[in-house]
């Protein structure tokens, strides 16, 4: 039996990353293979098994964190996998990509270092796949009714897997050529190798979920016809409308939306393109933005061999620790260095400039982008502070400013008669139902730009709502309501 007092004797330890220079030479995941298992048993043993586990309530999926921590500490991996898979369809994605609000809410984090919950989650799922414990779960009985899911990001996939396992004949419609949503063409392979996504999709096919790719619902198939041909429909189309930067020079050749750039790079990785349509190779690159998408552009540009990469973040540099307004157990805004930033440091690629507002893009003699003008941002309204303007050379600018909501309608929204809220998100009640009978909305499409863990939670909850709509009752788990939000003050 593991030491129940390990939180007093064992320090937090992360798994080892590969050397940053080595990482820059390939597109494989940044962590050293095999580095997790040797440390994770001792780390799971640091869990205090609190009477009121805030980690569990900070996880939108309600992952049973203390339970699986204890099972891992006692080396009962099989039971740990069963507990994890009871609440999370895709722990191999969250274990790699979740920002882990659970760790911010860990009681040990009040005055010390949280349990490495995300790493324990990852170790469990990786082991479950290796050992063949995460097997297809085809339904025991077919219900006979049909459900269509539009969109194959984590929300659509989670909804589809739950509904197929519950016995519905479920078909996922995806306008891209491969399923996966942002997991496929947004997030780069150095953070999620795509064979992990393919393996999960194979499992879903083996359970009975059907996929129809290359079909844009509302354009290639009339949404009304689709709805008429099924018993319920889940809309999980994401929030892919990019925020714009309407400054002088925006139209210059060389200024691109980050998501287009990342998609091209991912398509090279998939073998669809021999070279990306736009590459950073040999170019001075400026990334405008400060979130996950910006960091993914940074790692991608470095691997493509950029001459320099400067990141302009309009927000001031966050504090190193919790600010007074963000006490435990809130997931705080603190300074974080991603693996891409670590690589930028190793490559001496260029600065990360905070409180910088972009004022314009300047052309060279050939009419193409040659420089970016920016200034210090006034704290009150982010306007340029007079006298601080300067410009730096740039041959490629990537706009990573976030997303404003679902893309302009290609037919789906009007054909189904869906309403949108003031923020552009698709309207639904707290049970994920729209005003159109039998039509439900899940994921970023309804929540706005969010996270994978929320998308999976939404997909699971929307599946429960569909089941209740069709059967009058449900035993499927609904971890959140549509209005649930992360803990803030
Ligand atoms: C670059 C980047 C990095 C990110 N990194 C992280 C991270 O590290 N951690 C994290 O938690 N979150 C991250 N996110 C956010 C996360 O990826 C999203 O919150 C999540 O993917 C949303 O899931 P979804 O299923 O709602 O939508 P999406 O993943 O956007 O999927 C929607 C799907 O619907 C399809 N679709 C749209 N319209 C139609 C139509 N009419 N017919 C058929 N199909 C349609 C789209 O093609 C798409 O495949 C990142 C986002 C980006 C852009
Ligand atoms: S899914 Fe995210 S929040 Fe939930 S336990 Fe895993 S890392 Fe923590």
Residue closest to 368 by CA, chosen among 393, 390, 400: 393
- Report how far ligand 2's centroid is from the alpha carbon of 56 (Å): 8
User: What separation in angstroms does the CA of 226 have from each of 21, 163, 229, 306?
Assistant: 50, 17, 5, 46
Percent over 90 (pLDDT), the chain? 96
350 Cβ contact list (under 8 Å, min separation 6): 285, 308, 309, 310, 311, 344
- pTM of the predicted model as reported, rounded to 2 decimal places: 0.98
Among 60, 98, 103, which is best to mutate for testing ligand 2, by the most ligand atoms less than 8 A from CB? 98
Predicted pLDDT of residue 137: 98
Most informative mutation of 61, 62, 68 for ligand 2 (most atoms within 8 A of CB): 61
Give residue 100's pLDDT band: very low, low, confident or very high (50, 70, 90). Answer: very high
User: How far is ligand 2, taken at its centre, from the CA of residue 264, in Å?
Assistant: 29
Q: How confident is the model at residue 487, as a pLDDT?
A: 84
| 31 alpha carbon – ligand 1 mean position (Å) | 24
pLDDT tens, 420-459?
A: 998 889 999 999 999 999 999 999 999 999 999 999 999 9
Q: Are strands 308-312 and 403-405 parallel, antiparallel or unpaired?
A: unpaired
Q: Backbone phi, then psi, for 195, in 5-degree steps?
A: -65, -25
pLDDT of 24 reads 98
Alpha helices per DSSP H over 223-275 = 223-228, 258-270
Share of the chain above pLDDT 70, in %: 100
Q: How far is CA 167 from the centre of its chain?
A: 28
pLDDT for position 1: 66
34's CB contacts (< 8 A; 6+ apart) are none
What pLDDT sits at residue 291?
Answer: 96
Question: What average pLDDT does range 34-46 have in this prediction?
Answer: 93
pLDDT band at 2 (very low <50, low <70, confident <90, very high): confident
Ligand 2, atom 1: closest residue by C-alpha: 94
Tell me the pLDDT tens digit for each residue of 257-280: 999 999 999 999 999 999 999 999
- 232, 310, 339, 416, 420 from 224: Cα distances, Å: 12, 47, 45, 6, 18
* pLDDT for position 188: 98
Residue 170 DSSP SS3: strand
Q: What distance in angstroms lies between residue 97's CA and the mean position of ligand 2's atoms?
A: 9
Question: Torsion over CA of 140, 145, 151 and 157, rounded to 10 degrees?
Answer: -10
């Amino acid at each position: 039996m593991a030491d129940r007092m390990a939180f007093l004797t064992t320090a937090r330890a992360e798994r080892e990353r590969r050397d940053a220079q080595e990482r820059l030479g390939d597109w494989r995941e940044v962590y050293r293979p095999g580095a997790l298992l040797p440390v994770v048993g001792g780390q799971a043993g640091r869990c205090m098994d609190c009477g009121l586990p805030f980690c569990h309530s900070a996880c939108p999926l309600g992952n049973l964190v203390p339970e699986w921590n204890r099972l891992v500490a006692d080396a009962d991996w099989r039971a740990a996998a069963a507990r994890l898979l009871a609440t999370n369809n895709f722990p191999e994605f969250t274990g790699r990509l979740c920002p882990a609000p659970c760790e911010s809410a860990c009681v040990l984090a009040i005055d010390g270092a949280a349990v490495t919950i995300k790493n324990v989650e990852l170790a469990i799922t990786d082991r479950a796949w290796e050992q063949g414990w995460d097997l297809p779960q085809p339904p025991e009985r077919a219900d006979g009714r049909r459900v269509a899911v539009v969109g194959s990001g984590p929300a659509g996939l989670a909804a589809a897997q739950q509904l197929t396992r519950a016995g519905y004949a479920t078909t996922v419609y995806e306008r891209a050529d491969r399923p996966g949503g942002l997991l496929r063409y947004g997030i780069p392979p150095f953070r999620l190798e795509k064979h992990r996504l393919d393996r999960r999709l194979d499992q879903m096919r083996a359970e009975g979920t059907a996929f129809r790719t290359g079909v844009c619902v509302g354009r290639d198939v009339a949404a009304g016809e689709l709805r008429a041909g099924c018993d319920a429909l889940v809309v999980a189309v994401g929030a892919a409308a990019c925020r714009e930067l309407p400054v002088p020079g925006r139209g210059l050749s060389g200024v691109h939306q980050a998501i287009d750039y990342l998609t091209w790079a991912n398509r090279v990785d998939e073998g669809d393109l021999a070279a990306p349509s736009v590459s950073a190779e040999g170019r001075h690159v400026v990334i405008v933005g400060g979130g996950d998408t910006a960091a993914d552009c940074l790692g991608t540009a470095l691997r493509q061999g950029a001459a320099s990469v400067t990141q302009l973040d309009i927000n001031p540099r966050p504090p190193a620790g919790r600010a007074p307004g963000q006490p435990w157990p809130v997931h705080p805004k603190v300074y974080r260095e991603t693996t891409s930033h670590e690589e930028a440091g190793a490559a001496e690629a260029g600065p990360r400039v905070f409180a910088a507002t972009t004022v314009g893009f300047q052309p060279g003699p050939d009419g193409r982008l040659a420089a970016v003008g920016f200034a210090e941002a006034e704290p009150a309204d982010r306007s340029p502070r007079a006298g601080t303007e300067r410009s730096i050379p740039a041959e490629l600018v990537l706009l990573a400013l976030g997303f404003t909501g679902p893309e302009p309608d290609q037919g789906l929204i009007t054909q189904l008669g869906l309403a949108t809220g003031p923020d552009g998100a698709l309207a639904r009640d707290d049970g994920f139902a729209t005003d159109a009978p039998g039509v439900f909305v899940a994921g970023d499409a309804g929540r706005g730009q969010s996270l994978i863990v929320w998308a999976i939670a939404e997909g699971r909850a929307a599946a429960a709502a569909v089941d209740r709509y069709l059967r009058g009752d449900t035993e499927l788990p609904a971890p959140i309501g549509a209005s649930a939000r992360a803990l803030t003050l």
